[in-house]
Amino acid sequence: MRDDVTMDTMTPPRQRATDDAIRILRDEQGRRVDWLGRRVGVSRQYVSDAIHGNRPVTYARAAQIATVLGVEVADLFRDEDDAPIIEED
């Protein structure tokens, strides 16, 4: 692996936005990683890896996370400018 290539540069923009949204929403609610993991039914390590971009988040898992956090799943798929990354039908 080249020295100038980081995990962040290898992560697709959609994934980074999802990772950031999960972290931001969790932080805003004052929730810990282990709390989210228990509610979603995954390990604390899974949530931590997802937040840091080390594990892809499937749409099905994103839907579970959104439900637990009390947001729409589309809220997890927005870029830094709050523009949707995926279009809703």
Q: How do residues 45-79 score in pLDDT, each as one tens digit?
A: 999 998 888 888 888 898 999 999 999 988 887 65
Contact, 73 vs 61, CB < 8 A?
no
| Whole-number Å distance between alpha carbons of 26 and 71 | 11
Rounded to an integer, the average pLDDT of 4-22 is 58
pLDDT value of position 64: 93
The pLDDT value recorded for residue 46 is: 92
pTM of this prediction? 0.70
Domains of the chain (ranges plus CATH)?
9-76 (1.10.260.40)
- Find, among 88, 87, 78, the residue nearest to 13 by Cα: 78
Q: 84 φ, ψ to 5°?
A: -60, 140
> For residue 35, what pLDDT is reported?
95
